[in-house]
Amino acid sequence: MAGFNVRSVLVTGASRGIGLGLAKQFLGKSNPPKWVFATCRDPEGAQAQELKTLASRHPNLMIVALEVTDPASIKAAAARVEEHLKGSGLNLLINNAGILRLNTLESETPEDMSLVYATNVTGPLLVSQAFLPLLKKAAQGSPQPGLSCSKAAIVNMSSEGGSITNPFAWQLGQVISYRCSKAALNMLTKCQSLGYGGDGILSIAVHPGWVQTDMGSSASHQVPLTVDMSVRGILNVLPTLSEKDNGAFVDWEGKVLPW
């Protein structure tokens, strides 16, 4: 991770899985961020216990309550982070929070389609809108030319399951609402790259691989990647990204994926 100097990073959905893994590895770097903001729905709940233990050992980790489907919660979280940053910007926003429902074409429901879309697409849109002023501030205050994750960036955690060209693991699970949501998230990423690139903000969609998490293991199949392997790969890829990658869809090893 040479040259990856992120002063502040915010990760949504950080109480478990990839989000928790990202927080851990950022904190474990030789040059950790001054601030790691780890968000979860209920900081006082049982699921946040490991995150709270981590925060007790790392004074630069701040746990922030954030429900990505609740605009009021998002607004409150952005205000709290802004107050904590004391005039500096946010370098890196990782929209990681997401959900999956094990539905087929025959069993998919309007309720699940709406809920998954609200969490996996509308959530990242609203969170990015709320933190945009802080991302712009980071970009404006950076001496770095061009675009990079050290300067200011939005990383949307997507999935190759949303690739229209190569719908990953279709034979193992249709998960219709999830696939549709990730295809939409990829388009959101492209739109953000077009809308925010001029402000010095890089936007990227990342497929973390098929990872051994509560979500990734829910289909009862052998899952190839550990959280540690996936996150290590992602944190090796992020420093390599620049304006040529703005709006791209890449995997945890840096390979460009088809839309």
Q: Which positions are annotated as active-site residues?
A: 178, 182
Instruction: Name the CA radius of gyration of the chain, rounded.
Output: 17
What backbone torsions phi and psi does residue 83 show, to the nearest 5 degrees?
-65, -40
> Which residues are registered as beta bridge partners of 36?
9, 61
Strand segments, DSSP code E, in the chain are 8-11, 35-40, 61-65, 92-95, 153-157, 202-207, 249-251
Token look-up 């049982």 returns 46
Query: Encoding tokens for residue 80?
Result: 């709290």
Q: Provide DSSP, 36-64.
A: EEEEES-TTSGGGHHHHHHHHH-TTEEEE
Helix (H, G, I), strand (E, B) or coil at 72: helix
Handedness of CA 106, 125, 23, 66 (dihedral sign): negative
Token look-up 């940053």 returns 85
